[in-house]
Amino acid sequence: MGSVSILPSFNHLVAEALAEHGFIKLEKLIVLDNSSKYDPDGMDHVSEDVSDREALGAIFECMADLNRTAVQSPTLCAGDQGISFRDALHASTDQLVRLINNRPVRYVELGPEPWKSSTILSKLLGAGVTVRQYIGVDINPESEELMRRELESRIGADKFSYWVRNFYEASADEHPPLPPSAQPRQDNDDYVTVITNLGFQEGNDLPSRIGSMLARLTRPGDLLLSEMQVCPSKITDLVSTTCIQEFYLQPEMRRFSALVRQRAYKGLSGSPSQGNENDTADEYLYKLVPLQTEVGMVNVATTLMSVMVQGIKKYILTNSCLKYTLDQFVRAREMMGDFAVRAVEETGDKSVVFQVAERL
């Protein structure tokens, strides 16, 4: 297994919380850094029956499949109020259009995926917004080909750029330059950068670290669209977390965990490119565990996949994601990263929130 070298603290804190609450003993837990799941250099050992590129591509496809289902469904997360995930995404894009206020846009996507990107960009373009540049920022290089194929026809090939970087090692000062066709025509011909942090990436680290990372990637006046699967009521009310459990028990999330496990160790059965029965044959666990953070006690959704190590059954922590309450999500943004929340759109069942903030 590769060494944990970048921001290991969050997942180690989660592992300690799992042990403290009696779910799994600490010595039986194998902790990976989040970036090692997507980085070609993040694992020392890769399963011998499939190339690392195929495994990384399959991980990207898992996430894309989840997003396709979300943006195509007219009822997902609608609850009794009828505001679906798709409707909430559209409404948050309308808020972006309002705040863009007729300025040209540089669009920066953290963790690119084709379905939400296409939805947002199509809506921006349909509202008359000029998109001068798209920048996809991803540690997984296998996402670029599909993103290029999906977006170039919408925005123009010369406006598409890709940046294979770890979010935590990047800054706004290093953004690829605007293409010649999009250079300002006058000194006062200004543009606004819209940066998106979607797909529950917001919960992949402590709020202070996410906040400082987003602050480095933005400049004053930039707009940030982010997404969070939230706990819709008090932290102690586990009945309200059914939507979270259902999400992590989906076949795509089980397959994601199998792929992470397969990248971590040699000799694990099942081809990640096929998603066959071996992907879910071993023990897959979902646990919700409280963790103290800078914005208070927060639930963390965790998934674990069993693996035999020298004849001893252990568990790889394949996923750990903070699930704020709505108020905690606002506090995390405004207290930790020099941002002011300008708009919030939530689904009818109150399980997912899209937040639009402005960098101060």
Asked if 162 contacts 147 with a C-beta cutoff of 8 angstroms, the reply is: yes
348 and 218 in a single domain? The answer is: yes
Give pLDDT, residue 225. 99
Which of 14, 10, 7, 11 has the alpha carbon at shortest distance from 290? Answer: 14
Cβ atoms of residues 11 and 320 within 8 Å: yes
Q: CATH no. for residue 197?
A: 3.40.50.150
Tokens of 53: 């590129």
Q: Which residue has the higher pLDDT, 20 or 185?
A: 20
Instruction: Judge whether 172 lies within some domain.
Output: yes
185 and 297 housed in the same domain:
no
pTM of the model: 0.88
Question: Considering the chain, what is the average pLDDT of its residues?
Answer: 86
State whether 171 and 117 are in the same domain: yes
Q: Is the pLDDT of residue 2 over 70?
A: no
Owning domain of residue 243: 9-68+234-323
Q: Where are the alpha helices (DSSP H) in 175-318?
A: 207-216, 242-248, 251-264
Beta strands (DSSP E) in 243-332 are 284-293, 296-309, 312-323
Q: Are residues 59 and 153 in the same domain?
A: no
Report if residue 272 sits inside a domain: yes
If asked whether residues 100 and 15 sit together in one domain, one would say no
Residue with the bigger pLDDT between 235 and 263: it is 263
Task: Answer whether residue 1 is part of any domain.
Answer: no
Q: What is the largest CA-CA distance in the chain?
A: 68
Using the 8-state DSSP alphabet, how is residue 126 labeled?
A: H
Q: How confident is the model at residue 173, as a pLDDT?
A: 94
Looking at the domain assignment, is residue 239 inside a domain?
Answer: yes
Does residue 197 carry a pLDDT above 60? yes
**Cα gap 281→318, rounded to integer Å:** 16
| Residue 202 belongs to a domain | yes
Instruction: Determine the Cα–Cα distance for residues 103 and 347; give it in Å rounded to an integer.
Output: 28
Distance CA 131, CA 194 (A): 10
Residue 79 backbone class (left: φ over 0; alpha: ψ -120 to 50; beta: rest): left
Q: What is the pLDDT of residues 330-358, one digit of tens each?
A: 999 999 989 999 999 999 999 999 999 99
Residue 51 pLDDT grade (very low, low, confident, very high; cuts 50, 70, 90): low
The answer to whether residues 310 and 329 belong to one domain is no
Identity of the residue numbered 351: S
Identify whether residues 46 and 108 lie together within a single domain.
Answer: no
Q: 330 and 316, same structural domain?
A: no
Q: Closest Cα to residue 33, out of 9, 58, 60?
A: 9
| Bridge partners, 108 (sequence order) | 135, 195
Residue 3 within any structural domain of the chain: no
Query: Does the residue 301 lie in any domain?
Result: yes
Residue 333 and residue 192 in one domain:
yes
Q: Is residue 191 part of a domain?
A: yes
